[in-house]
Structure 1
Amino acid sequence: MRKILGDPATGANYNTTWVGTRAGEFLDRAMAARAADGTPFFMEFDPTAPHLHDEQNTARNMTEPKYRNLAVPGCAAPTVESDRTDKPAYVQAFPLTDPYSYGVICPVAQRTLRSLDDWFGATIDRLTAAGQLDQTLIVFTSDNGLMYGEHGLSRKYVPYEPSVRVPLMLAYPGVFAPGTTAAANASRALVSNIDILPTILSVTGTPVNPALPKIDGVSLVAKPAGHKVVLSEYWGDPRWAPSVPAPIPTWSALYDRRWTFAITYDTAGRAVTQELYDRVRDPKELTNLIPLRAGATSSTYDVPRWTARLNAERRCAGASGARMCH
């Protein structure tokens, strides 16, 4: 473990560099095999960055020495609503401000990503030098976002944009490249991580096995604009309850390019709270537009329609048929 974490004083065997070197060695072998007999290759690189190694000494242990003093953007104190009574109880349990999250964790996390940028650039150079770049599908994404004090929160696991929105970048000549339909849709495409598998199958010409469970996602080759709505879900995990001011409950949420609608549930699966945000007029999701109690109606917004729409997406199966996911 010490070798992987690296020497914080010198940066020797720094995590991203050490694991990236091993990944590069694998890639060299894989590309040599492909050049020899056409064997395809697959590599998944999952760096520790920007996760914490040591919260007690974050600035020292997390960042590669050459980037420790790097100025980074986007880590200012967020706007936090002074009245959070329109949000679930777990949100209200967090302190209104969390300077540690945006003042320490945010800049450190961004600095660790500079090392990841270095590795990614070196990987592109490696593929180019071997003549494999134009034959390789590249997928760049993340598993979750993180709250840096928005709404007073400092975790993932929540339905608000900083937690659920992640990058998804694809590159493949003639398909995901400048001048393609996908490129024209890239900035507005509404996509999800469930689309990665069908997209890879489409690019590689691999048929879907009908004996396997239905795939809910869509191929972004066939549907580069993605979905009409995206479903996000979280199931409350009691193992994390002691580490936060209040347990984060199970929830589900929809986003359709303008509106976010979310419901929380108790341990028996009964709806407890509901939230609706206009992401055009209120991009920071500060004002819940409907009564907080689940099932309560609004004279302005069609809550039953939103609830039915969310329930339908929770029950959907597959990208076609009567119960298709949208």
Structure 2
Amino acid sequence: MRVLVTGGAGYIGSVVAAQLLESGHDVSVLDDLSTGHREAVPEGCRFVEGGIRERAADVLAGHGIEAVLHFAARSVVPESMARPERYWDGNVGCTLALLEAMRTNGVARIVFSSTAAVYGEPESAEIGEDAPVRPGNPYGATKAAIDTALTEFARMHGIGAASLRYFNVAGAYAGLGERHDPETHLIPIVLQVALGRRESVAVYGEDYPTADGTCVRDYIHVADLAEAHLLALDACRPGEHRVYNLGNGTGFSVRQVVDVCREVTGRPVPAVAADRRPGDPAVLVASSERARRELGWTPRRPELRRIVADAWDFHTGGDSAGRPAG
């Protein structure tokens, strides 16, 4: 299949592009490199530098694209709180332009990289797709709005769409790993401390009603996440918009993450207690039962140590940084 990966120079998009190539697909990548890295685009992909509004229609038509995997987005929650207009324009506006370009060029499938942030503060610790959608920040609100647009485009124009909602992604695959600037995710932050690039990691709250008092979150290996995108692509059906949560189904506490990072790296990682952050629930874990049942997806790398070890190898140039994670 001839597929377009928007945001394919970013962390998750590049790993999905790599797996698409391995599966025999013809892959084009569209990325404006505002946060992505040109060298992250897997060899074998056709790369087009530019924005969705400016280039998507030409790429869809010129490359005979049959399906889109859409990762291009702004994704930093604090920035979305400070500059919400950038998120509504960059996420919702650009996605509407992409959907219209798909409609006019007869491209009938799309897999959307959504987020569990659409649920806001959920009523239960384990979140299913039927949980109320009530995002607590503009980032989550824009993703929820795009989900609504996908439902409407499926109903009105017959596209087949799938939205994949997930929390925390980590690990590395085929030499492709996480390198955001600024970094806001826990595992790479802890590894930066181990590398001496930060003095310490802040632990926001140690008095939560959890086993060790710190927040519990769901972490998923980026390679497992990518495999779910390929399965969702195959499952897209005309006129349907499906939503799937993705996660390990098992949570790990902040303290567990720090301890495993110390074990994997063999280096000291100073952790400093800090006040709770407003709006941080004690436990957030995704229920992936629907994805397991309908897509046949099962995370094959669920162990926290494996996730951290692959990320560490990427950051240090270790053995597994240059080979696909098995």
TM-score over 0.5 (shorter chain)? no
More strand by share: 2
| Structure with max Cα Rg | 1
Hey, which of these two has a bigger chunk of helix by percent?
2
Question: Normalized against structure 1, the TM-score is what?
Answer: 0.30
TM-score, normalisation: structure 2: 0.30
